[in-house]
Amino acid sequence: MIRSNRNSEKYIQAGLDVGSDKICCAIIEVDSKSNIVKLLGIGTSPATGIKKGSITHRDQLIDEMDNALQEAQTMADLIVEKLSLGISGSHIRGINTQGAIAIGNNNGSNVPIQHEITDGDVHRVLDLAKAVSLPVDRDILHVLPQEYVIDTMDSIKDPVGLTGRRLEARVHLITVATTAATNLASCAEELGVDVDGIVYQGLASSIATLSDDEKNLGVICVDIGATTTDIIVYHEGGIRHTATLEIGAASITNDIAVMLQVGIGDAEKIKQTYGSAKASMSSPDLDFELPAQNGQIKRKVSEHELSRYVEARMVEILQLIMREVSRADIKEKLTYGMVLTGGGSELKNLVGLAQETINMPVRVGHPVNLSGAVDVASRPIYASAIGLAQWKIFGEDLSLIQKTGNTFKGAMEKFKKLVKEFF
C-alpha cells in the first residue's frame, strides 16, 4: 500500500477522518509479532466543506483533505497510496438480521451425519443474512457477525471446524446512503489515493478506544463530534446497535454565541477555556471578560453562568443518546456503561455530568495501545482517525469478507499478499 523501506514484518496503514470541524489523517505502523501500533504521522486541517456528513463545498473539502494528508505524510516521511475513509451522517442505519443454512447433505441416507463447518459455509450463511431488501439509494457498508448458532448451540464466535446440521448467523448490518459514500470516496480519490475501505466513523472510534472486556460485557461507545454524534452499542463481543444523531458539540458553541452575543470563534475559545459540563463545579465568583465589540464597554460573565448553558445543552445531547439506545433491542445489562470520545468528550467535567444523567459508569475514550508520537495523538479528538488507520488490521476481521480467517494473523496474511504486490 505504501512505499517504505522499513522492515517487511511491519505494516503501514492510513486512515482519513472527514469531520465537520476538522479533517484528520493518521498513518500507523503495526508490528505483526507484538500487535503494537506505532503512530508515524498525523495531520489535521480545519474543515469547512462538510456538515452533518453532507458535502457542502466539494472543492474546498478536497483541498482540506489534501492539507491533512500532506501534513501526515510529511511527518511520517512516506507517501500514502491507499487509505480507509471514514463516513458519518444521519443517513447511517444499523439493523440486526439473521440467515441460516443446512450443512452438507446426508446423501439420501436417513442416518444423521454431522458435517464439519468450512469457511465456505460461513460465507454462504453471511451472504444469506445480508440479503435484506434495501431501497435503491442505500448500500450495505458493513456486515458484522454477532454470533453463530449451530443446531441448538448459540453464542459461537467462530464456527469453522465445528460440526452440525444447521448453521445460523446473527449479524448487524450498517447501511449508508449510496450517494453520500460515492461522493466522499470520489473526493478522496481526487487526492491521488485509492480508497480501500469506507468505514463508519463510530465503528472506527470504537476500535481505537474500547477494550475486549468492554465489548464483551456491554458498552455504549459515543463519538461526540462537532455536528454529529455517533453511537455504537456492543454486547457479547458483537455490535448490537448503531446510529448517528445530527447534533454535536458545535451546538454548545452556538448557544454560547447567542447567549453572550459573541462570534462563533470567540464562543469556541470561551467554551474550551471556561466551560464546564457541570455548572455546580464552576465558581460563580470566577469571572472572565468577553471580547470588546465595536466600542462597547467590556462585559464580564461568571464561569458558573456560562456553564449553565453548557450543561443544559449537554444534558439534552445525553438524553438523545439514551433515547436512541433505548430503541435498541438490548435486554442485557451494559456493564461498562458509556465510553465518550471525539472532540466533544474533551469538555471539562463531562464524565461527572454524564454519570449523573444516565446513571451508568462513564469514561472518556482515548486511543489505546499506541506508541510513537502518542503525546499528540492520544486525545479523544483523534480516536476516529486512528481507528480508521487500524481498520484493515484490527477491524476488518469483524466484517464479512474474512476469507483467510477471522484472526489478526489471518488479516495479516491477507495483507502480506497485498504488500508483496507493491514491491
Ligand X SMILES: Nc1ncnc2c1ncn2[C@@H]1O[C@H](COP(=O)(O)OP(=O)(O)OP(=O)(O)O)[C@@H](O)[C@H]1O
Residues that bind ligand X (CB under 6 A): 19-22, 47, 88, 225-228, 248-250, 253, 268, 271-272, 342-344, 346-347, 381
Question: To the nearest whole angstrom, how small is the minimum distance from the Cβ of residue 201 to Mg ion?
Answer: 5
Question: To the nearest whole angstrom, how small is the minimum distance from the Cβ of residue 80 to ligand X?
Answer: 20
Contact call for residue 94 and Mg ion (CB under 5 A): no
Nearest-angstrom CA–CA distance, 204 and 386: 8
Cα angle 31, 36, 41 (rounded to 5 degrees) comes to 85
Report the 3 state secondary structure along 278-305.
Answer: CHHHCCCCCEEECCCCCCCCCCEEEHHH
Question: To the nearest whole angstrom, how small is the minimum distance from the Cβ of residue 327 to Mg ion?
Answer: 22
Question: To the nearest whole angstrom, how small is the minimum distance from the Cβ of residue 269 to ligand X?
Answer: 10
Nearest-angstrom CA–CA distance, 340 and 363: 6
Nearest-angstrom CA–CA distance, 185 and 173: 20
Report the 3 state secondary structure along 147-166.
Answer: EEEECCEEEECCCCCCEECE
Residue 302 β-bridge partners: 287
Cα-flanking dihedrals φ and ψ of residue 365, to 5°?
-95, 110
Q: Specify the residue, 225 or 387, whose C-beta has the smaller distance to Mg ion.
A: 225
Contact call for residue 19 and Mg ion (CB under 5 A): yes
Q: Specify the residue, 41 or 342, whose C-beta has the smaller distance to Mg ion.
A: 342
Q: Which does 175 bind (CB under 5 to 8 A by kind): Mg ion, ligand X, none?
A: none
Question: To the nearest whole angstrom, how small is the minimum distance from the Cβ of residue 24 to Mg ion?
Answer: 8
- DSSP symbol at 391: I
Q: Specify the residue, 274 or 391, whose C-beta has the smaller distance to Mg ion.
A: 391
**All 3 cell numbers of residue 282?**
464552576
Cα angle 27, 33, 38 (rounded to 5 degrees) comes to 25
Q: Which does 253 bind (CB under 5 to 8 A by kind): Mg ion, ligand X, none?
A: ligand X
Q: Specify the residue, 12 or 340, whose C-beta has the smaller distance to ligand X.
A: 340
Question: To the nearest whole angstrom, how small is the minimum distance from the Cβ of residue 88 to ligand X?
Answer: 6
Q: Which does 272 bind (CB under 5 to 8 A by kind): ligand X, Mg ion, none?
A: ligand X
Nearest-angstrom CA–CA distance, 237 and 106: 34
- DSSP symbol at 41: E
Applying CB under 5 A, the span of 6-14, 16-24, 65-73, 76-84 interacting with Mg ion comes to 16-24
Nearest-angstrom CA–CA distance, 177 and 93: 9
Residue given cell 461527572 in the structure block: 352
Q: Which does 117 bind (CB under 5 to 8 A by kind): ligand X, Mg ion, none?
A: none
Q: Specify the residue, 47 or 143, whose C-beta has the smaller distance to ligand X.
A: 47
Q: Specify the residue, 22 or 304, whose C-beta has the smaller distance to Mg ion.
A: 22
Question: To the nearest whole angstrom, how small is the minimum distance from the Cβ of residue 353 to ligand X?
Answer: 13
Question: To the nearest whole angstrom, how small is the minimum distance from the Cβ of residue 327 to ligand X?
Answer: 21
Q: Specify the residue, 207 or 347, whose C-beta has the smaller distance to ligand X.
A: 347
Residue 23 β-bridge partners: 18, 45
Pairing of strands 138-150, 166-177: antiparallel
What count of residues does the chain have?
A: 423
Contact call for residue 248 and Mg ion (CB under 5 A): no
Binding residues for Mg ion, how many (CB under 5 A)?
A: 3
Q: Specify the residue, 167 or 247, whose C-beta has the smaller distance to ligand X.
A: 247
Contact call for residue 202 and Mg ion (CB under 5 A): no
Nearest-angstrom CA–CA distance, 224 and 246: 10
Q: Which does 226 bind (CB under 5 to 8 A by kind): ligand X, Mg ion, none?
A: ligand X
Q: By CB under 5 A, name the binding residues for Mg ion.
A: 19, 225, 384
